[in-house]
Structures are given as structure tokens and as C-alpha cells.
Amino acid sequence: MGRPPHVAPIETGGPDVLGQTPGSVLIVDDEPLLLRSLRRILERDGHTVWLAESEEAAAPAIASANLDVVVVDVGLGSSNGLDLLDRLKRSRSEVEVIVMTGQASIESAVGCIRRGAFDYLAKPFDDVHRVRAIVRRAVERRCLVRRNHELEDAVRERVAGPGLAELVGNSSRLRALIRTIQSLRHNESHVLVEGESGTGKELVARAIHRNSPRARGPFVPVDCGALPETIIESELFGHVKGAFTGATGSPGLFRMAEGGTLFLDEIGEVPLAVQAKLLRALQEKEIRPVGSTVTVPVDIRVISATHRDLAAMVAEGRFRTDLYYRLDVVRIGMPALRERRDDIPLLVQHFLAKHQRPNSPIEGIEDDVLDRLTAADWPGNVRELENVVESALALADGPKLCLADLPLGRHAACFVPESSFADVPLSLAAYEHFAMERALRESAGDVARAAKCLGIGRSTFYRKLTHHRGES
């Protein structure tokens, strides 16, 4: 209790006694004698073992990418091992967790499994072989899941090409986009990607890079809109020590992308003064760092992206004509999500798999929810759809996502069905439901405003709407 927390990594190279692949195991318990005992047991099987007497002391090991299994005691002094289990399942869902307790019961064991634990150990350990076998199975499962993910990624990339598997969908617009990317695999021309925010412009840029002769080089993304005008030149071209107050010297993003691809997102936000220097860098294939009199050669490919109409900006004098044509060698137009609705069901399934936690009760999605998602306009495009699916998963308790699980906040207007008063059945409940849906629609999805219009509290509005949508 009063001992200082510590983590003791024990590197072992012993024989693989049980024939399994050794794993990395973290043991969290406030009993030093038990920690040492478990360490000796697991060392026999060649595992790498970390020991921690508290959750705080376990943090470095939990952050390790190589961690496979955590064995945690339910009682950790003043803290709770089950809380650590919950946090691990949220932040490191791929790591298997084995729970230990000195007060074993069927109910507590079932409860731990439902919360995502791999298995359950009762203390004291009468059967050492059971301890070793449970840890072995947990490591094997972790390795199997990791290998399955690697094989799935390899198969997708073999079929579609590097990075193209991340472009989910089968619509004619998306297939045309993928064909364009594939046609550029032997080309190193500059590319301009145009499209609304949230359509996946950076995904396309990464796919172009990974399918190009520069795939082994770096891919360096930069959001030009997020860089203040006073530092954008220094960030792009670098600066020498003493070039300005506090300058310590930096190579800049152009040189960081040497041999690879520089992705200039939101290129329309670059100030005119910097546009001239950017044009020269692309034409001469050399840059001059801020504060330097010497030019430096650079070998990069530039992919730029924008949600603005650059041609209109050129006509208005807000974007240089010569730079526009230098960037616009190959143009790719990103379709808005509303222009490829056929892809929405596939995207929904993709995001369900991506954000679903292990042991989640959610098994799928109701047809009426999918219909409503497909019919929505999605002004935020794919990014907004992913946000809605992730939010719905967080709210749902299974077994399928239903209308009541959809987030009501700023997305609500997408989900409110259009209907006329004449279509409402003759019942008080139906009229109440119609009034709530109408208030929500006329309030542009603002639940507080909709509740105020109806003269009821926000919590009452939520409760009633959830009830009505659950029955519809």
C-alpha cells in the first residue's frame, strides 16, 4: 500500500515449453510476493513479463505497442481492477485481459467476461498449469487476431492496390476514381484533388503516393489552412539559425518530403506572396530557406487539394494563374457522398467494424436505420457519416442499431422523416410523435429548441422521442 509504484521489465529467453509463441505479459497486483511468483511461472514459457504494483505504474507498459496480455487483480489498493479492464477495452481493445480475484464466484466471473475479459483466475492459484494455459491461450488469440488483420490487409491491397482498400464502395463514381489512381501508378506528375470537405481527399492522395514510383519515400501532409501566414514560408521551405527571433534552424516540409510526396491540403488558403515562391520551387526544383542566400535542390512530387473553386479564384485574382496550371497537371474530382449513395450501406458496415468494441452486443443495423442514413444529404460527407455511426455505437445497447440510437444533436435534421398531417393515424400517441418530429425538423435538429417549442423539458423530449422511435 505504502510502497512506491514500480514497473519491472523481465526479459526472458527461455525455452518455449508449451510450444506457443511467447508473448508480452503485464501483471498488475499490489502483492509483491504474488508478482514474483507469477513472474517465475510465466518465465518458464519464454514470455516477456512486466510487473506493476499499481495502475499508475502500469501506464508505460500499457502504452507499449508490443503488449499482448494484461493480468490484473480486481482489488488494487484504493483503485479497482475492473475499471482498468474497462479502460483497456476502450483504448487497447486488441490486448487480452485476464482478471484475478480472491473472492471468486460464478456471478463475478460472468460479469468480467461480459465486460470483455478473456478469462478469470481465482486466488490463490492451486493449479499452476491452469495459469500457464490461460495465459498461453490469451497470447495465441492475440497473435491470431493480429495475423488475421495482417492477412486481410494484404488480400485487400493485392486485389485493389496499396491504399485503395481504404476507399470503400462499389458505385460507378468510386470505381472511376480508383481507375484514375491506378492509371497514375507509373506517373509522377503533380495532381490537384478537388472536392468538398470530408470526401476523403487525403485518402486519395495517400493512395496515389503508395501506388507510385515514390512509394518508398515519405508522404508528408500539411494543412495550409492551419498555418498562420507569418510562418507558412518557414514551414514549407525551412529556415536557418538566426533567421528571425528564436529561430534555431529547420529543414522545412519540402526537404522532409525528399524522394517522396508533399501533400498540400487546402492549397487555396496559401497567401499570394507565398504562391510566387511555391511556383518557383516547383519550376526550378529548388528552394531557398528563410534567412539563407543558398538554394537547395529538392526532388519531390506535389499533390494538392482544395474544397474551393480555384478557377474562380484565378479569375478573381486571388490565386496565381501560373501556379494553378503548374499544380493542375492531373485533376481528380472527389464525388460528394450524396452523389454516390449506393456506397453508404458499405461505408456504414465498414465504420461499424472499425469502431465496434470487442464483445459488443451490437450484431448489425436495422433496415429502417440504413434506409434513413442512405437517404440523408450528408453535408459533411464521409467524415460526418463516420461520426454518426461511431456515436450510434456508443449509445446503443444492442442487438442492432435502431432509430433511437442515432445521435440527435447537430445531425438530427438528416434523420427526421418527411410526413404530412393527413398520414398520421388517429391516436394521441401518433399525434404526439408527429409533433415532436415536426418540432425537431423545424428546429434544424436543435433538441433544446424543439423541446421549448412544445413546452416540455429537454430530458422529457429525449425520453418521449426515444419511446416513439422504438415503437415505430
Q: What is the pLDDT of residue 162?
A: 62
Would 120 be classed as within a structural domain? yes
* Pair (249, 363) in one structural domain: no
* Pair (373, 442) in one structural domain: yes
Domain stop point among 120, 148, 176:
148
Would 88 be classed as within a structural domain? yes
- Extract the runs of DSSP E, i.e. beta strands, from 137-276: 191-194, 219-223, 261-265
- pTM of the predicted protein model: 0.57
Q: What is the pLDDT of residue 18?
A: 41
List 121's β-bridge partners, or say none.
100
| Residue 287: partners with Cβ closer than 8 Å, 6 or more residues away | 236, 237, 238, 252, 254, 255, 281, 295, 296, 298
Would 393 be classed as within a structural domain? yes
User: Residue 15 and residue 260: Cα distance in Å, rounded?
Assistant: 44
- SS3 per-residue string spanning 260-299: CEEEEECHHHCCHHHHHHHHHHHHHCEECCECCCCCEECC
Q: What is the pLDDT of residue 61?
A: 82
Q: Is 173 exposed, middle or buried (0-12, 13-18, 19+ CB in 10 A)?
A: middle
User: Residue 214 and residue 261: Cα distance in Å, rounded?
Assistant: 7
Domain stop point among 285, 315, 335:
335
Would 411 be classed as within a structural domain? yes
CATH for 258: 3.40.50.300
Would 257 be classed as within a structural domain? yes
Residue 394, domain extent: 339-471
- The pairing of strands 96-101 and 119-122 is parallel
Q: What is the pLDDT of residue 94?
A: 81
Q: What is the pLDDT of residue 471?
A: 61
First to last CA, the chain: 55
* Pair (357, 326) in one structural domain: no
* Pair (209, 355) in one structural domain: no
* Pair (138, 36) in one structural domain: yes
| Residue 277: partners with Cβ closer than 8 Å, 6 or more residues away | 233, 237
| Residue 233: partners with Cβ closer than 8 Å, 6 or more residues away | 274, 277, 290
Q: What is the pLDDT of residue 160?
A: 52
Would 68 be classed as within a structural domain? yes
CATH for 137: 3.40.50.2300
Would 297 be classed as within a structural domain? yes
* Pair (238, 370) in one structural domain: no
Q: Take residue 316 and report the three cell numbers written for it.
A: 478573381
* Pair (436, 356) in one structural domain: yes
3-state DSSP call for residue 201? helix
Would 371 be classed as within a structural domain? yes
Q: What is the pLDDT of residue 416?
A: 47
Q: How many structural domains comprise the chain?
A: 3
Domain stop point among 335, 351, 376:
335
CATH for 380: 1.10.8.60
* Pair (64, 184) in one structural domain: no
* Spans of the chain, pLDDT less than 70: 1-20, 77-79, 91, 104-106, 149-163, 359, 408-425, 441-446, 469-472
Which of 289, 302, 202, 223 has the alpha carbon at shortest distance from 257?
A: 302
Q: In what order do the strands lie in the sheet with 219-223?
A: 219-223, 261-265, 301-306, 191-194, 330-333
* Pair (144, 173) in one structural domain: no
* Pair (322, 448) in one structural domain: no
* Pair (327, 357) in one structural domain: no
* Pair (383, 267) in one structural domain: no
